[in-house]
Amino acid sequence: MSEKIMIIDDEKIVGDMARISLEEDGYEVETFLTAAPALERLKEAPFDVVVTDLKMKGIDGLEVLRAVREMSPKTKVIMITAFANLDVAIEAIKGDVFDFFPKPVRIKELKESIRKALAQNGGQNGEQPGK
């Protein structure tokens, strides 16, 4: 069984690029442009990792973090943002975000963070699929 990763980012290209790269490593990836349908999907199926943008119309990344904590406490949340500031980073950390990246995100760093999050979850002994 491959690990499931959810990506929520209102920039389609960010989600598409991450999805393509992660699927090449054997992960099952679903992308969403807004948080509402992503959270509905999370009610239907568990995900190992949620990667979410911080600033989005409607439900923002901190609200996503709180909702994931409530619905799926073991799911790791990684936050990305073009609007990084210390106050937001502190709030995210207090909300138990696993990792926090400024945009543009380096896919290699994001993949390493996802690998570490999965290892912490005990997913497939912490090893990447196909390795």
Residue type present at position 52: T
| Average pLDDT score over the chain | 88
- Give domain status of residue 88, yes or no: yes
> Quick check: helix, strand or coil at residue 103?
coil
Domain that holds residue 19: 4-120
How far is the C-alpha of 58 from the C-alpha of 129, rounded, in Å?
34
- Give domain status of residue 17, yes or no: yes
Question: CATH code at 46?
Answer: 3.40.50.2300
The per-residue pLDDT for 103 is 86
pLDDT band of 127, cuts 50, 70, 90 = very low
Neighbouring C-beta atoms of residue 124, cutoff 10 Å: 16
Total domain count for the chain?
1
pLDDT band of 125, cuts 50, 70, 90 = very low
Stated pTM of the model: 0.87
- Give domain status of residue 99, yes or no: yes
